[in-house]
Amino acid sequence: MNNFIFENSTKVYFGKGCVKEFLAGIMDGYGKNVMLAYGGGSIKRNGVYDEITDILADRGKNVVEFSGIMSNPTYKKVMEGAALARKNNIDMMLAVGGGSVMDCCKAVSLAAAYDGDVWSDYWEKRGIIDVEPIPLGVVVTVTGTGSECNGGAVITNEEKKIKTGGDYPKCNPKFALMDPEYTFSVPKMQTASGGFDILSHIMETYFSKTDEDNISDDISEALMRSIIRNLPAALKNPQDYTARSNLMWASTMAENRIIKLGKACDFQAHQIEHQLGAYTDCNHGCGLAVIHPPYYRYIYKDGLDKFVRFAVNVWGISADGKSKEEMAAEGVQALAGFIKEIGLPTTLRELGVKDKSILPEIAESCNIAPGSYGNMTKEAILEILNESF
Amino acid sequence: MNNFIFENSTKVYFGKGCVKEFLAGIMDGYGKNVMLAYGGGSIKRNGVYDEITDILADRGKNVVEFSGIMSNPTYKKVMEGAALARKNNIDMMLAVGGGSVMDCCKAVSLAAAYDGDVWSDYWEKRGIIDVEPIPLGVVVTVTGTGSECNGGAVITNEEKKIKTGGDYPKCNPKFALMDPEYTFSVPKMQTASGGFDILSHIMETYFSKTDEDNISDDISEALMRSIIRNLPAALKNPQDYTARSNLMWASTMAENRIIKLGKACDFQAHQIEHQLGAYTDCNHGCGLAVIHPPYYRYIYKDGLDKFVRFAVNVWGISADGKSKEEMAAEGVQALAGFIKEIGLPTTLRELGVKDKSILPEIAESCNIAPGSYGNMTKEAILEILNESF
C-alpha cells in the first residue's frame, strides 16, 4: 500500500430527526452572526427552511441569507458570498443543500478570510493558502458529491471557462447534519444523477493505480455493490428510508478520503466532465454518466485485471471460460446497462451539445491526470468525446 | 440504517519511513516534558527505541520513561503511570507498541487528569468524565486492537477480576504513526493472534443487529476478505510489505468507528474473552480464537440469514441446493478451519485452563450484551465455555 496521511475532522450527526435533535445545541457553540446559505428555494417548499430558521431564531442568531446558489456554482457567486460575509462580520456559515451549496460555501469561507487572489492562488495553482476559513456547518438535503466530509470545493470560473477544485482540509465542515428523510423529495432525475456521481467517485478511485492488493479497493467494491442495490430502490420508492440512508452514507464514504488512501486517484473522467460542465453547464452526474462507458472502453485494456475484478466482484459476472478481455468488456457493458436502467442520458446530444464542432475546444481544455490508465492525451479525450456524441 | 453520531479526530501518518519523516515536526507542536511509554523492551531489540529517542533528544525534549506495560494492562499499572505523569508535569505522552501499551496510556492520560476515582467513574459505570486527558500520540508496532484511532482503553482490575473498557472520544490519540515495516519482527503467534483480533472486531460488529441493508456490513465483508487473504501471507513471509500494510490498515478500519455506524455492536464474544483474560491472563487474540466457533455454533440459528451471507460473501461458499442451516454451519466451519490454518489454539486447555471447575465463576462474571443474537444468558455462556474446554 502506498504511504498516506489521513485526517478528517468533521463531526457527523446522521439519521431521521437529527436537525431537530442537535442543531440548536451545536449552534450555541458559535457566535451570533450566521450566514444561512441555500440554492433555488426547494428547502422553502419542503419545510426544511422553516425548521432551520425557527431553530436559529430560537437561539438568538442574527441570520444573513445567501441564496440562489446555482448548480455548478460560479466564482462570481463565491465573490458575492465573500463580500456579504465580510460586510456582516459573519461568525459561522450554515450551508443547507447539496454539493453545489456546500462547495460554494466552502469557497466563500475561504475567500472571505483571504486577502489575495483566491482563484489564482487556490483553485488555479492548487495551492494551500494559510488562512483559517470561516467555520462552516452543513445540512445535507441532496446526496451525491460527498462534500459534507471533505475540504473540496468545485467552482466554475465562467470567464475562464474552467471548472475545478481541490481538497483543503481546513475547509472540512465542522459538522454535518444528515437526515435521509430530507432527501425523500429530491426528484428522480436528481436522485439518479447524484447516485451516479457517488458511483463515479468510487470508480475513479478504484480504477487508479496502484493495482497491488489494497484494502481500499475492497471497500470500494463494497460501496459500489451497495449503490447498485439501493439506487434503483430509492428511484422506485423515493421514501424508502433504508435505501436513502445507505445512499446518503455511501456518498460520504466515497469522498471522506477513506477509500482514496494509498491510491493515486486520477479522476480523469471528472476532469473531462468538469470541462463539459464549464462549456455546457450540464448536470454533473449526467455528464459523468455519458462519459464513463466510452472512457472505460478506451482504457480497459491498460487496466485489464482491474476491469476483470470489477466485472466479477461488483457486477457478479461469472467467468465461464471467457477471456479477460471479454470479462472486462462485460463489466463495462453492465455499467452502461445500469446507467440506462436508472434513466440517465447516454449521449452528449442529450446533454445539449448540438454539434461536434465544440468538442476539440473542450478536449483541449481538459486536464490530463498523470498516471491514469490508458496514458490519456488530449487526442484520446477528443476521441472519447466523439464516441460519446 | 440506525441513527448515529460519528467523529474521529486522530491524524494518521501511514507507511514506511513515516516516523523518521514526521515525528520530529509533530513533536515541535507539544511541550518539553514527554512520557515515552512502551512494553517489555522489544522496541530496544528492533531499533525502534533508538530511532525515537534520537528524535526526541534532537528536539530537546525531557523524556520520562514509563516501561514494562504488560499485555492485559492492569489498573495498578495505570495508577503507576498516572502518578509518574503528575510528578513530572508531563505535557504529552508517546506510546510505542501495540494495543496494551496504547490502551494503558489512554487510561493514564485520563487518570492523571482526573481527581476522582477513575476506575469507578469511568470503567465501572462506563461514564463520560469531563476532563481533558494529557495529549497522546502513538507509534504502532503491533497490529490487532486498532486502538490507534479510537478512545477505547481495555484495562484489567486484578483485584476485582474485571477486564473492561469503553470508547471515550477525548482519549483518541492526537496522531498515530503507522509504519508496517515496524511489524516485520512481530513473532508469528502474535501476528496470528493480532490478526484474529482484527477479524473478531469485524465479526462482532457484523453479527449484531440490525440486519436490514446497511453499508457497514458490506464494508465489514470487504475487510474480512482482505484479512483472510493477507494474514496467511504475512505468516508465510513476515516481511511481505503488502500483507503487513493491509493488515495494519484493516486493524485501524475495524476500530475507527466506521463499520460500527448504524450497528448495535454487542461484542458478546469479547465480553466472554475479557473475563477469560481476567481469570487466566491468556492472550486476547488466542482467547477470542477459542471462543468464536462454539459461540457462533450456539447463536447462528438466531441470525441465520446473516450467517448464510457470511458463508457466501466472506468465505465464498456456494449454495448448491444446500439449506440455510447447512450454509451457515459451513461458514462457521470455514472460520474454524481458518483459525487452525493460522495456528491459533482451539481449546481452553491450550489457554492454560486446567479443569472445568473455574468455568461457572468465569461465566457468572461475564457481561451480557443486550440484544445479542441467541438471547445470551450466563447459563448459555457456561455452555459455550464447556464446549470450548
What's the one-letter identity of residue B346?
T
> Is B138 found in the same domain as B275?
no
Q: What burial class does residue B25 get, using C-beta atoms within 10 Å of its C-beta: 0-12 exposed, 13-18 middle, 19+ buried? A: exposed
pLDDT at A370: 80
- Is residue B123 a contact partner of residue B157, using CB atoms and an 8 Å limit? yes
Q: Note the residue count of chain A.
A: 389
The DSSP symbol for A356 reads G
Q: Which of A104-113, A121-130, A198-207, B241-250 has the lowest mean pLDDT?
A: A121-130
> Parallel, antiparallel, or unpaired for β A92-97 and A136-140?
parallel
Taking an 8 Å cut-off on Cβ atoms, the answer to whether B15 and A2 are in contact is: yes
Is residue B3 situated within a structural domain?
no
Q: In this structure, is residue A171 part of a structural domain?
A: yes
- B178 shares its domain with B199: no
Quick check: helix, strand or coil at residue B125? Answer: coil
Give the residue from B176, B136, B97 showing the smallest Cα distance to A4.
Answer: B176
In a domain, A3, yes or no: no
Domain shared by B136 and B199, yes or no:
no
pLDDT, average across residues B360-372: 90
Is a pLDDT exceeding 80 seen at residue B126? no
Q: B257 is written with which cell numbers?
A: 468507528
- Model confidence band, residue B317 (pLDDT cutoffs 50, 70, 90): very high
Cβ atoms of A215 and B224 closer than 8 Å: no
Say how many CB pairs under 8 Å bridge A and B: 117
**Segment among A71-85, B94-108, B118-132 with least mean pLDDT:** B118-132
Q: What stretch of H or E contains B35?
A: strand B33-37
Q: Is residue B6 in some structural domain?
A: no
Sort out which chain B residues have CB atoms less than 8 A from A251's CB and list them: none
| Range with top average pLDDT, A40-49, A281-290, B114-123, B244-253 | B244-253
Same domain as B146, residue B207: no
A23's CB contacts (< 8 A; 6+ apart) are A52, A55, A139, A177
pLDDT at residue A124 in the model: 84
Whether residue A126 has pLDDT greater than 80: no
Q: How close does chain B come to A314, measured CA to CA in Å? A: 12
Domain range for A166 is 11-183
Cis peptide before A210 (omega within 30 of 0): yes
Distance from CA of B168 to the nearest CA of A (A): 15
pLDDT at B128 over 80: no
On the question of pLDDT at A373 being above 90, the answer is no
* Residue A2 forms part of a structural domain: no
Q: Residues 2-31, chain B: which have Cβ within 8 Å of A?
A: 2-18
Instruction: Determine which helix (DSSP H) or strand (DSSP E) holds A14, and give its type and residue range.
Output: strand A4-14
Interface test with B, best of A16, A178, A213 (most B CBs within 10 A): A213
pLDDT at residue number A366: 93
- pLDDT for residue A31: 97
Statement to judge: residues B213 and B362 lie in one domain: yes
CA distance A263 to A216: 8
pTM: 0.95
Among chain A residues, CA nearest to B242 = A1
Q: Is the pLDDT of residue B241 over 90?
A: yes
Tell me the three cell numbers of residue B186: 512481530
B328, three cell numbers: 451457515
d(CA B240, CA A360): 47
pLDDT at residue B121, rounded to an integer: 87
pLDDT at B167: 84
Mean pLDDT of B87-98: 98
Distance (Å, rounded) from C-alpha B288 to C-alpha B344? 10
- Quote the CA–CA distance of A96 and A107 in Å, as a whole number: 15
pLDDT at A127: 74
Q: Over 80: is that where the pLDDT of B315 sits? A: yes
Q: Is residue A369's pLDDT more than 90? A: no
| Strand ranges inside A15-146, DSSP E | 33-37, 62-66, 92-97, 136-140
- Is A37 found in the same domain as A88? yes
Q: What pLDDT is stored for residue A167 in this prediction?
A: 84
Considering the domain architecture, whether residues B157 and B204 belong to the same structural domain is answered as: no
The CA-atom distances, in angstroms, between B88 and each of A135, A158, B82, B171 are 37, 60, 10, 20
**Residue B206: all three cell numbers together:** 457484523
CA distance A197 to A143: 9
A234-243, long-range: CB < 8 A, 24+ apart: A234/A191, A234/A195, A235/A188, A235/A191, A235/A192, A235/A342, A235/A343, A238/A184, A238/A185, A238/A186, A238/A188, A238/A191, A239/A184, A241/A16, A241/A180, A241/A181, A242/B1, A242/B212, A242/B213, A243/B213
Interchain contact, B11 vs A6, CB within 8 Å: yes
Q: What is the pLDDT of residues B187-226, one digit of tens each?
A: 999 999 999 999 999 999 999 988 899 999 999 999 999 9
Quick one: A277 and A217 in the same domain?
yes
Grade residue B286 by pLDDT with cuts at 50, 70 and 90. very high
Q: How near does any CA of chain A get to the CA of B13, in Å?
A: 5
Average pLDDT over residues B145-153: 95
Taking the C-alpha atoms of residue B356 and residue B359, their distance in angstroms, rounded to an integer, is 5
Query: CB–CB of B218 and A214 under 8 A?
Result: no
Q: Check: CB of residue B243 under 8 Å from CB of residue B227.
A: no
Q: Are residues A325 and A201 in the same domain?
A: yes
> Cβ contacts of residue A115 below 8 Å, gap of 6+?
none
- pLDDT tens digits for A226-237? 999 999 999 999
C-alpha cell at A225: 455493490
Secondary structure element (H or E) that encloses residue B244, with its range:
helix B241-255
Q: Are A183 and A42 in contact (CB under 8 A)?
A: no
- Give the integer Cα–Cα distance in Å for A284 and A197: 7
B57 contact A CB<8A: no
* CA trace torsion B232, B233, B237, B243 (10° rounding): -130
Final residue of a structural domain among A183, A207, A227: A183
Binned at pLDDT 50, 70 and 90, residue B130 comes out as confident
Looking at residue B173, what is its pLDDT? 98
Position B5 in a domain: no
Q: pLDDT tens digits for A47-80?
A: 999 999 999 999 999 999 999 999 889 999 999 9
* Closest-approach residue (CA) in chain B for A17: B3
- For the beta carbon of residue B45, count every other beta carbon within 10 angstroms: 10
Interface residue B283 vs chain A (CB under 8 A)? no
The percent helix, strand, coil of chain B (3-state, each to 5) is: 55, 10, 35
A61-65, A207-211, B104-108, B185-189, range with the lowest pLDDT: A207-211
On whether both A51 and A83 belong to a single domain, the answer is: yes
DSSP state letters, A156-194 = EETTTTEEE--B-GGGS-SEEEE-GGGGTTS-HHHHHHH
Q: Which of B130, B157, B183 is the last residue in one of the domains?
A: B183
Distance, CA of B66 to CA of B209 (rounded, Å): 41
| In a shared domain, residues A211 and A310 | yes
Q: How many CB atoms lie within 10 A of CB A6?
A: 22
Q: Are residues A278 and A298 in the same domain?
A: yes
Residue B4, in any domain of the structure: no
Number of structural domains found in chain B: 2
Residue B212 touches chain A, beta carbons under 8 Å? yes
Dist CA B104 CA B114 (whole Å): 15
Q: Which of A282, A284, A288, A278 is nearest to A162 (CA)?
A: A278
Place of cell 452528449: A348
Please give the grid coordinates belonging to residue A120: 489564482
What secondary structure letter does DSSP report for A247? H
DSSP summary character for residue A144: S
Instruction: Give the CATH number for residue B66.
Output: 3.40.50.1970
Among A4, A6, A143, A211, the strongest candidate for a mutation testing the B interface, having the largest count of B CBs within 10 A, is A6
Backbone conformation region of residue B14, classed left if phi is above 0, alpha if psi is from -120 to 50, else beta = beta
In sequence order, the 6+-apart residues with CB closer than 8 A to the CB of A348 are A276, A290, A359, A385, A388, A389
Residues of A in contact with B2 (CB under 8 A): 15
Residue A141 sits at φ, ψ, to 5 deg, of -120, -10
Q: What confidence score (pLDDT) does residue B369 get? A: 87
Which of B341, B142, B173 shows the shortest CA–CA distance to B247?
Answer: B142
Report chain A's terminal Cα–Cα distance, integer Å: 38
Q: Supply the mean pLDDT for chain B.
A: 95
Task: Kindly report, residue by residue over B34-43, the tens digit of the pLDDT.
Answer: 999 999 888 9
Q: Please, which pLDDT band fits residue B122 given cuts at 50, 70 and 90?
A: confident
**Region of poorest pLDDT, from A365-374, B50-59, B149-158:** A365-374
Do the domain assignments include residue A26?
Answer: yes
Residue A20 makes CB contacts below 8 A (sequence gap 6+) with A51, A55
- Residue B8 · residue A6 · CB < 8 Å: no
Q: A321: Cβ–Cβ under 8 A, 6 or more apart, which residues?
A: none
Mean pLDDT of chain A: 95
Q: What is residue A281's predicted lDDT score, i.e. its pLDDT?
A: 86
pLDDT in tens, A155-174: 999 999 888 887 888 999 99
Q: Which of B3, B13, B245 shows the shortest C-beta gap to A5?
A: B13
Burial class (CB in 10 A: 0-12, 13-18, 19+), A277: buried
Question: Which CATH number do you get for residue B246?
Answer: 1.20.1090.10
Per-residue model confidence (pLDDT) at position A187: 95
DSSP labels for B251-310? HHHHHSSGGGTT-----HHHHHHHHHHHHH---HHHHHHHHHHHHHHHHGGGGHHHHHHH
**Distance (Å) from the alpha carbon of B222 to chain A's nearest alpha carbon:** 5
- pLDDT surpasses 80 at B365: yes
pLDDT band, very low/low/confident/very high, at B163 (cuts 50, 70, 90): confident
Domain boundary among B157, B183, B209: B183
Contact list in B for residue A229 (CB cut-off 8 A) is 213
Assign A123 a pLDDT band (cuts: 50, 70, 90): confident
CB distance A264 to A208 below 8 Å: yes
